[in-house]
Amino acid sequence: MPRFFFTGDQHLGHKRIIELSKRPFTSVEEHDTQIIDAWNKTVSRSDTVVTVGDFSMEGKYEDLRYKYIRHLHGNIIWIKGNHDSGWMKQSKVPFPVRHLWHKQIREGDRRKGAKGPFLACSHYPMRSWNRSQYGSFNLHGHCHGEIEPWYNQMDVGIDNAYKIFGDHRPIELLQIVEIIKETNKGAKGHDYHATHDDQNWVPWPL
């Protein structure tokens, strides 16, 4: 059954990101190869991947398609990051360029009435987002695992994935649900669970 994954902040082709984010690679070539391998070991061709921006700083879509994109597994939904401006111009790419992506997840459990969380995905973390008062999640990038999450919020970029899993890979939605449940115990923000029935969605069995 196809799954949902979330990722971001790859910075493919960006040599300096190795130093800035303390990534364990000795060259940009090793960096790019290992990140693509981690993606493909995690994601199948039938899965959906939402990437929340800063995929690459390179300037032309055709160059990225040949070097990186054509090798990646999954059906990719692209959100534009601040470093994607060069290659992700609407006139040059064959897919919608989004700044936000909203989705009520319902796949994965066919029990009557079962549903997953409502997601508000963005490059930057938000203080308030669509349906946040009803328990929706904000999945973001940009921060490279360096900020404390707000309630029902998670940095899904590859540097945070490395801190959690020891690998620069996309994160599956089921894992995100469990991580957010844990981080919510000490997170800033509001717990609307006691006052809004809409958060009583049924998570899929792990």
Helix H segments across 55-190? 61-67, 158-165, 173-183
Report d(CA 62, CA 68) in Å as an integer. Answer: 10
206 located within any domain: no
12 found inside a domain: yes
Answer yes or no: is 205 within a domain. Answer: no
* Dihedral sign (CA 121, 127, 132, 135): positive
Average of per-residue pLDDT across 111-132: 83
Distance CA 72, CA 3 (A): 15
In a domain, residue 83? The reply is yes
Task: Give the pLDDT score at 206.
Answer: 31
Provide the residue range defining the domain that includes 149.
Answer: 4-199
In a domain? residue 129? yes
pTM > 0.75: yes
* Structural domain count, the chain: 1
Given a contact cutoff of 8 angstroms between Cβ atoms, the answer to whether 29 and 72 are in contact is no
pLDDT digits (tens, 9 = 90+) for 179-190: 999 999 877 775
Q: CA torsion angle for 157, 138, 122, 8 (degrees, to 10)?
A: 10
60: in domain: yes
Identify the band that residue 58 occupies on the pLDDT scale cut at 50, 70 and 90: confident
Q: Report whether pLDDT(197) > 80.
A: no
Of 90-94, 127-131, 151-155, 196-200, the range with the lowest mean pLDDT is 196-200
Q: How far is CA 45 from the centre of its chain?
A: 17
Please name every residue paired with 119 in a beta bridge, in sequence order, or none if there are none: 103, 137
Q: Kindly tell me if the per-residue pLDDT of 114 is higher than 60.
A: no
CATH of the domain at 62: 3.60.21.10
187 in any annotated domain: yes
